[in-house]
């Protein structure tokens, strides 16, 4: 039985938590986890498949477009790809499912935020996007995702849950998810929302890598620097193994060169980054994603890489997403079928070959 004094202290801690959420969401979300939780997570990530989150806390910079087209590219290359839509706006799900929805969804991304689901059943219930490519699966998100995010946050705040930030990581590192050779994925691509709430926190904790797209303009470059500073806090407190693949110039106006304005913002990012981020983060100047009307079709419902046809724009989309995917391939550790880590050699225009280390 708790004494009145103890009860008062518990309530005070919860109240402080609530106040901190309102005052500084980042501090609240990134506070230290229990040492054993962190340790187990790091051990599990050791032989993880690449889990890449596309993130920028600025809205509308091309995250979903890049995520879906990269996924289609890797699937065309023969990789088994899992997409996770962690944005309650559901843009990735709209994009993927507009190509043909198959049946009802027995597993949506919100289940990955919650603890205690049977991971074998969850794995089996991922939606296969055969109409786009038979190597592609998705956990979609709908508006309910937002309710699940808030519910989980409150359960954590009031002490009904000890820890919620590692829930998705626990699933993505579970035996059912990563060990069964017949159902294993080669890569997971996650679309992150532009706000720091349960979804974003959970995916940044679960990821092995992040990719940060940005438009080269004033507002986006500042948001990009802030995003990197938040990622650094995740690396320090929750996910020391998280690696930044780079900053991807998005919606670039002209092929082959950057405008003076775009060059100015690349230079600004490169100049200001060392003040905010301790490590090296490359601006992926050689892998721009061009602004193309076809990618904006119907509010972003197009996965151009997966589109039928062979016109110049589709070919160009395949090339630019293929180039970025090639860079990613050389930067991540693919998991070999024997479960060991090992480098791969990227073969331009061909399936990537795994090589013995």
Ligand X SMILES: Nc1ncnc2c1ncn2[C@@H]1O[C@H](COP(=O)(O)OP(=O)(O)OP(=O)(O)O)[C@@H](O)[C@H]1O
Binding residues for ligand X, per CB under 6 A?
Answer: 59-65, 87, 89, 91, 194, 251, 289, 291-292, 295-296, 299-300
Residue 306 CB, shortest distance to Mg ion, in Å, is 18
CB atoms within 10 A of CB 179: 12
User: Residue 63 interacts with Mg ion (CB under 5 A)?
Assistant: yes
Place of tokens 């498949």: 49
Residue 90 CB, shortest distance to ligand X, in Å, is 10
Question: Of 222 and 296, which has the nearer Cβ to ligand X?
Answer: 296
Residue 19 CB, shortest distance to Mg ion, in Å, is 31
Taking the C-alpha atoms of residue 286 and residue 257, their distance in angstroms, rounded to an integer, is: 10
Stretch that binds Mg ion, among 19-27, 61-69, 119-127, 242-250 (CB under 5 A): 61-69
User: What one-character-per-residue DSSP string does 168-231 give?
Assistant: HHHHHTSHHHHT-TTT--SEEEEEPPSS-SHHHHHHHHH-SEEEEEEESSHHHHHHHHHHHHHH
Question: Of 122 and 196, which has the nearer Cβ to Mg ion?
Answer: 196
Stretch that binds Mg ion, among 78-86, 87-95, 150-158, 237-245 (CB under 5 A): 87-95
Question: Of 63 and 178, which has the nearer Cβ to Mg ion?
Answer: 63
Residue 239 CB, shortest distance to ligand X, in Å, is 22
Q: Which residue in 48, 53, 64, 235 binds Mg ion (CB under 5 A)?
A: 64
> 104 CB contacts (<8 Å, ≥6 apart)?
none
CB atoms within 10 A of CB 178: 21
User: Residue 91 interacts with Mg ion (CB under 5 A)?
Assistant: yes
H/E run at residue 264 = helix 260-276
How many Cα atoms sit within 13 Å of 338 on the Cβ side?
A: 7
Provide the binding-site residues for Mg ion, judged by CB under 5 A. 63-64, 91
């Amino acid at each position: 039985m708790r004494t009145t004094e103890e009860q008062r202290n518990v309530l005070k801690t919860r109240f402080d938590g609530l106040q901190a959420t309102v005052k500084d969401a980042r501090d609240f979300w990134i506070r230290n986890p229990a040492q054993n939780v962190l340790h187990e997570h790091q051990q599990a990530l050791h032989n993880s498949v690449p889990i890449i989150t596309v993130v920028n806390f600025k809205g509308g910079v091309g995250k979903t477009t890049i995520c879906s087209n990269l996924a289609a590219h890797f699937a065309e290359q023969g990789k088994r790809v899992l997409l996770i839509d962690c944005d309650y706006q559901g843009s990735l799900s709209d994009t993927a499912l507009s190509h043909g929805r198959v049946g009802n969804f027995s597993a949506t991304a919100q289940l990955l935020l919650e603890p205690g689901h049977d991971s074998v059943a969850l794995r089996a219930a991922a939606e296969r996007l055969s109409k786009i490519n038979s190597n592609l699966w998705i956990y979609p998100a709908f508006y309910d995702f937002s309710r699940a995010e808030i519910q989980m946050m409150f359960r954590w705040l009031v002490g009904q849950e000890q820890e919620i930030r590692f829930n998705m990581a626990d699933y993505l590192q579970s035996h059912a998810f990563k060990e069964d050779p017949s159902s294993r994925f080669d890569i997971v691509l996650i679309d992150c929302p532009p706000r720091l709430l349960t979804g974003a926190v959970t995916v940044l904790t679960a990821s092995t890598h992040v990719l940060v797209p940005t438009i080269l303009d004033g507002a986006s470059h500042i948001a990009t620097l802030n995003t990197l500073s938040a990622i650094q806090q995740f690396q320090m407190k929750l996910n020391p193994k998280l690696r930044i693949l780079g900053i991807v110039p998005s919606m670039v106006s002209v092929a082959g060169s950057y405008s003076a304005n775009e060059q100015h913002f690349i230079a600004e990012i490169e100049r200001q980054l060392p003040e905010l981020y301790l490590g090296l983060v490359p601006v992926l100047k050689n892998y721009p994603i061009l602004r193309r009307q076809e990618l904006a079709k119907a509010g972003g419902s197009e996965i151009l890489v997966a589109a039928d046809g062979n016109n110049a724009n589709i070919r160009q989309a395949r090339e630019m997403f293929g180039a970025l995917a090639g860079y990613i391939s050389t930067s991540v550790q693919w998991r070999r079928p024997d479960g060991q880590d090992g480098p791969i050699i990227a073969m331009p225009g061909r399936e990537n070959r795994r090589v013995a280390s």
